[in-house]
Amino acid sequence: MIKPKAPSTESSPFNFSINKTKSYIFQPFISNSNNQVSFRFRMSHDSLPPLPENRIVLAVGTVGVDFLATVASYPDPDDKIRTTSLKVQGGGNAGNALTCAARLGLSPRLISKVANDTQGRGILEELQADGVDTSSVVVSEEGNSPFTYIIVDNETKTRTCIHTPGYPPMIPSNLSQTSLSSALDGARMLYLDGRIHETALLVAQEAARKNVPILVEGERIREGLDDLLKLADYAICSAKFPQASHLFFYEPLPVTKLRANGVGTVCGRLFVGTAEKVPPSELQDTTGAGDSFIGAVLYAICSNMPPEKMLPFAAQVAATCCRAVGARTGLPHCTDARLASFLS
């Protein structure tokens, strides 16, 4: 059956969901697709954490629409199966990370591109509702906005993404010098998700000239990513990226070393962050886990949080995200009591 979402601060313009099981949505609870009920934890206003002094972060990357189809188990070739639930909401690495950062209390800005279609307008409306500044997003009068089909496998707790890029793609000439200067004005951090690399490089070079720290995501090998990494002050990589990239060589010796081409051995302190364990009964979907981790790291850097505190904090935020279907459904706000020990 089709049910409109109940009004809330997390409402989306893509305002429908299809559930084959009973679903009750009301404050202060949120139901999920398997009839379990999760509580939304909030701190009292008297204990709200202080916000970072400079809260402006800029991102260059992708946004889109996610069509999340949850299934009992992944289909075999030529199978016909039914979903147990369907959710439609905004997605994209940069969009998800900035939504997370906004809910934690930052003031995010986005450089990206969508089309002037129903999906593109919905993408922008959802981001704006969460407090993301989209004034630097380029809107094309032609083409299509990006979207992704995501199959969420309830059996293995994995997800499979089938992405359709937006068209026409963003190119550096889409971004005027005025828009670039305005987007970077007062920025504490620049985050690049590794997509639209030519525009990202243009923004990164200007950020480096202005001494704005740069965080680059290394999800997988992408065209132009090496050039972005050379300008990075921070790099957040997937588990497999360091082994796949020719820029990094990881040596699992008694004394761990990281070597980079053209630099040699990089020496420093190694912080090992323990991942937050999500009980199998609570794990819903890993879509956006890495994006929420990055959003939390952006907040931590702006808050001058030490690395030994930053890593478990980001892991807690990512684990919270995994307790709901979709990249944004479970993203916590700074008032979430589960974050109190990190933000006090």
Q: What is the pLDDT along the chain (344 residues), one digit of tens a residue?
A: 333 344 344 456 764 455 443 332 222 323 333 433 344 445 444 555 677 788 999 999 999 999 999 999 999 999 999 999 999 999 999 999 999 999 999 999 999 999 999 999 999 999 999 999 999 999 999 999 999 999 999 999 999 999 999 999 999 999 999 999 999 999 999 999 999 999 999 999 999 999 999 999 988 888 899 999 999 999 998 877 766 666 655 455 454 555 656 555 556 666 666 777 899 999 999 999 999 999 999 999 999 999 989 999 999 999 999 999 999 999 999 999 999 999 97
pTM (2 d.p.): 0.82
Number of domains in the chain: 1
Q: CA-CA distance, 281 to 276, in Å (whole number)?
A: 15
Four-residue CA torsion sign, 301, 304, 307, 308? negative
Buried-state track 265-277, b at ≥16 Cβ within 10 A, e below 16: eeeeeeeeeeebe
Residue 218 lies in a domain: yes
The answer to whether the beta carbons of residues 61 and 93 sit under 8 Å apart is yes
Which one, of 257, 260, 318, 259, lies nearest residue 291 by Cα? Answer: 318
Residue 160 lies in a domain: no
Q: Which 8-state DSSP code applies to residue 169? A: P
Residue 4 lies in a domain: no
Residue 31 lies in a domain: no
The answer to whether the beta carbons of residues 264 and 304 sit under 8 Å apart is no
Measured in whole angstroms, the distance separating CA 105 from the mean position of its chain's CA atoms is 15
The answer to whether the beta carbons of residues 139 and 116 sit under 8 Å apart is yes
Residue 7 lies in a domain: no
Q: CA-CA distance, 65 to 163, in Å (whole number)?
A: 10
CATH number at residue 297: 3.40.1190.20
Q: Omega of the bond prior to 172 within 30 degrees of 0, cis?
A: no
pLDDT value of residue 52: 76
The answer to whether the beta carbons of residues 153 and 76 sit under 8 Å apart is no
- The token duo for 49 is 């954490």
Parent domain of 222: 44-63+93-144+169-343
- The token duo for 51 is 């916000």
The number of helices, as runs of H, and strands, as runs of E, in the chain is 9, 18
The answer to whether the beta carbons of residues 299 and 310 sit under 8 Å apart is no
Q: CA-CA distance, 320 to 338, in Å (whole number)?
A: 9
Q: CA-CA distance, 217 to 262, in Å (whole number)?
A: 20
Residue 294: other Cβ atoms inside 10 A? 28
pLDDT value of residue 281: 92
Residue 3 lies in a domain: no
Residue with tokens 């279907």: 325
Residue 68 lies in a domain: no
